[in-house]
Structure 1
Amino acid sequence: MSDGIQRRVVSLWFPQLASDRVLRQHLIDAPFVLTLKQKNANRIYCLNGDATRKGLHRGMSYADARAFCPSLQSAPADPAQDERFLHVLRRWAMRYCPWVGLEGCDGLVLNITGSAHLWGGEPAMITDMRRRLAHAGVSVRIGVGDTRGAGWAMAHYGEGIAPARDMLGTLAPLPVAALRLSDDMSVALQRLGLRTIGDLASAARAPLTRRFGPGLLLRLDQALGHQSEEITPLADPPHYGVRMTLPEPIGLLSDVMAGTERLLVQLCAKLKAQEMGARMLCVILRRVDQDEQQVELRLARPLRDAKRILPLFERGLSEAEAGFGIDQLRLEATQVESLPAQQISHVSGRASDKLDDLISRLGTRIGLENIQRFLPADSHIPERSFIIAPAAYSDPQSGWSSANPRPLCLFPPEPIAGTGPHPPNRFRWRRMSLTMGRATGPERIAPEWWLSDENWRTGLRDYWRVETKQGRRLWLFYTPQNPGWFVQGEFA
């Protein structure tokens, strides 16, 4: 930085970031905390101002907090959502300067060098920040200094604007913890009588380095501006979108498909460079009358192959109304997933690709969620040995093999007449008189005691595979504890 321009840094600290995020959606006028399970106990993760005034603090056991404050309300913490909310605040802060980075998990750091005058100076800029964040229901502490360390110290321990080129005079009365030191190091320095940054700055450097290492004085020099500390802004996520403006309006389906193909080639090249695949695509057709129509395509698997994607758009584009003509095409991948490069051969993936394309075609008509598949589950109970999941959001799994065959058609148990532990020679089922030809079994299945299932309250079941002379191949079971026979399935 040249002598004529003094570097200035703003530090924004959100001490109640997590609770503010929740209370913005559900306003609660009472002590409120977010809890997180730590070391086999629910502890306070974040709390609002009312809870702080009741004497509660972070890390406190939730049971102790309820004892101190019976009216306490709580909700489970979600650190992932808090992180996303902090990224939203980062994008908002870019209205003040383009150089915005994260400061831990609850703060932001802004390099406002050369941009404060656009807001009428630093005091006016800070006032605008406070006003907008207060209106959004987000509590904040703000510090301004020449360095990143000075801004952090002011936000956490001073909250104000440090005069330019006088960091030592401003930071001297602040505690040594304002240098972003660990708790153990701060306590050790206080035991030596070094309680403030001014005490530390006036102490001999060599003994401090021998005892605490170079990290202590590095933090001091960074706060005072003797050592540089850069602010690294987060890169904006790549935008997977392309467009084409046409010199003359078009209206034929073949022309629209040709334009879409050109856009797909460009978009798939972007996706390939980032090793990503599209799960949801949207073509936006702008007509000459400024009206827009959208054609959305949801894929069963992430793709970046233009030749496979283009035919899937044909049905949707054929239903679009061109009006007096279309003069612009835009194609966006609105949902993407990681799709790393894989080793391929002349036979790998062909059957799977055709099935995925079929699911995508059917999904455009009836919805991807309505195309489902069976997946194996870890249970020996027949009714719990499988789950049903959307085919587009699950992978076919092996593991269906079993030591004993299972019927393809499974239904709720249907009682039949019979006595004794062996299958009856003659019985009626669904208005049919059946005669047993051959029986294989029994296979004893015990209930899963850790699950409460009304259908298994009768206890053990002895299953038999019965082939009748009429051609029916049934799955019967006998309940020894409450004698009775039932039919539960039929083999193909």
Structure 2
Amino acid sequence: MFDGMNRRIVCMWFPRLATDRVLRAYPVDGPFALTLRHDNSERLYCLNAHAEQAGLHRDMSLADARAFCPDLLCRPARPDLDVRFLAVLRRWALRWCPWVGNDGADGLVLDISGAAHLWGGEAALLANMHTRLGKAGLAVRLGLGCTRGAAWARAHYGTQEQALDELPVAALRLDNATCIALQRLGLRSIADVSGAARAPLARRFGPHLLQRLDQAFGHIPEPIAPATEPPHYGVRLTLPDPIGLVADVMAATARLLDTLCAKLHAQGAGARQLVLTLRRVDQGSQQVELRLAAAMRAPARILPLFERGVATVDAGFGIDQLRLEATLVEPLAAQQTGLSAAPQSPDRLADLITRIGTRIGLENVQRFLPADSHIPERSFLIAPAAHSAPESGWRSGKSRPLRLFAPEVIVATGSTPPARFRWRRVAFATARAIGPERIAPEWWLDDATWRSGMRDYWCVHTHQGRRLWLFYTPQNPGWYVQGEFA
């Protein structure tokens, strides 16, 4: 027998974790469910107690659910937020014991060995868990056992007083197909499986069934791996005497930056967003937020960017504590410095974008990016420079004008291209023309400006010195100007 039988394991199962998360912020008195799209149809993902009492169940189509329960309120599910919420619950559960790990997508497992006496015994500890989680608006089922498998079985299929042998075979954490096959053989409970011959079970169901059985009874150890805490990128400095000058605050910020950037370098990360909190002696606080155009961890580059925000801070009677935290962190790979000892020069463009962004906002500093389309209007994208990388150039092999605007009608006479035309009340004469370049509309997109059909584009050099981009529409004869070359 495995000597870890002295261990005491608690399994927390949150059967309505997703809906409880939403209903904590938006209470609903009635049937409520979260939906998730699966196989081209909306299906129920998680339900509250009222919806289950109305006869609804998980994986039911939304159309059938509304037919059964017209009063059903729905919202789209967010599994990513459920994962974050479970991580918050895991950190909160550290109040009961220091060994807490995740148990699937909707549960936690706690090793309370040696910690139950701090709460007055196991019964008092479980009662405390029920009370606190209930006050938090969370439905929970608790299971206690000497093994993780036994605790999981009681949390999902039994009670604390029920013996493990009395529980159904599904309590062994088996898949549905295995459970159905066992029931067809007459093995409906754990006692039936444990009393059957092991060799035939192993030949038919493989080693997984016997492994789960031995784990539940403690014959095979099953470790509990607590989730590792994510690195915390925050540093604090408490001053013996209050300060108020900008130079003093910047000097203290420099000390914090050195420590924070060392943490970032050790984790191979860089900061994209920093928050400097300045606490005054009157317990008031002010924050200076810095958003960077690229991930950085060089104190010499980051420190000057704080100066503008620090200068606007009202120090009052003095600042006695500073706290610097990197609220948004991205991986930052090590850079090759070359054979020489001199490091690479800093990214001056990122620093410039950051400086301008602190004044007008990073989203307002934009750049043009090439797009995969032969339509002139769709051949580029406009994206924030801080959240996009520059590309080498446009993929089109044809020359395109530097200035592009909406098509403007011209009055043209003569051959193709026109020898003379009038645009914006100015008369032009064609000196040389290059073309035509025929561009057909993208049939899979409904674009009102291209409903006239294909276009024949010409690069026209005029005697007046301007190079214009003209096109002709054969289906609906007419000449237009859409751009001008530099």
User: What TM-score does the superposition give when structure 1 sets the normalisation length?
Assistant: 0.89
Say how many residue pairs are matched: 483
Q: Which shifted more, 338-347 or 386-395?
A: 338-347
Please tell me whether the aligned partners of residues 413 and 419 of structure 2 are also in contact (alpha carbons under 8 angstroms).
no
TM-superposition CA deviations, 1:68-111 (whole Å, max 9, x none) = 55665544433222211221222232233232211111111122
1:393: Cα distance to partner?
Answer: 0.7
User: Residue 328 of structure 2 aligns with which residue?
Assistant: 335
TM-superposition CA deviations, 1:163-205 (whole Å, max 9, x none) = xxxxxx7111111110111223223322332211112222333
Aligned mate of 1:182, from 175, 198, 211: 175
User: Residue 243 of structure 1 aligns with which residue?
Assistant: 236
Matches within 5 A, 1:168-247: 170-247=163-240
5+ unaligned residues in a row in structure 2: which ranges? none
User: Residue 383 of structure 1 aligns with which residue?
Assistant: 377
Please tell me whether the aligned partners of residues 414 and 420 of structure 2 are also in contact (alpha carbons under 8 angstroms).
no
Please tell me whether the aligned partners of residues 13 and 142 of structure 1 are also in contact (alpha carbons under 8 angstroms).
yes
The yes-or-no answer on 1:464 pairing with 2:458 is yes
Distance 1:248 1:49, change over 3 A: closer
User: Residue 438 of structure 1 aligns with which residue?
Assistant: 432
1:395: Cα distance to partner?
Answer: 0.5
Aligned mate of 1:452, from 442, 446, 450: 446
Matches within 5 A, 1:86-485: 86-158=86-158, 160-162=159-161, 170-345=163-338, 350=345, 353-418=347-412, 422-485=416-479
Q: Which shifted more, 252-261 or 269-278?
A: 252-261
Distance 1:421 1:392, change over 3 A: farther
Distance 1:253 1:33, change over 3 A: closer
Q: Which shifted more, 47-56 or 188-197?
A: 47-56
Please tell me whether the aligned partners of residues 5 and 114 of structure 1 are also in contact (alpha carbons under 8 angstroms).
no
Q: Distance in 2 between matches of 1:121 and 1:419?
A: 99
Helix, strand or coil at the partner of 1:283? strand
Helix, strand or coil at the partner of 1:359? helix
Q: Which shifted more, 92-101 or 401-410?
A: 92-101
Please tell me whether the aligned partners of residues 5 and 113 of structure 1 are also in contact (alpha carbons under 8 angstroms).
no
Please tell me whether the aligned partners of residues 419 and 484 of structure 1 are also in contact (alpha carbons under 8 angstroms).
no
1:339: Cα distance to partner?
Answer: 1.0
Please tell me whether the aligned partners of residues 9 and 147 of structure 1 are also in contact (alpha carbons under 8 angstroms).
yes
User: What TM-score does the superposition give when structure 2 sets the normalisation length?
Assistant: 0.90
Q: Which shifted more, 189-198 or 391-400?
A: 189-198
Q: Which shifted more, 371-380 or 86-95?
A: 86-95
User: Residue 165 of structure 1 aligns with which residue?
Assistant: none
RMSD of Structure 2 on Structure 1 (CA): 2.9
Distance 1:244 1:137, change over 3 A: closer
* Residue type at the aligned position of 1:463: Y
Helix, strand or coil at the partner of 2:322? strand
TM-superposition CA deviations, 1:1-39 (whole Å, max 9, x none) = xx9995322212222223333444444555544443444
1:133: Cα distance to partner?
Answer: 3.6
Please tell me whether the aligned partners of residues 5 and 146 of structure 2 are also in contact (alpha carbons under 8 angstroms).
no
Distance 1:408 1:203, change over 3 A: same
| Identical counterparts, % of pairs | 66
5+ unaligned residues in a row in structure 1: which ranges? 163-168
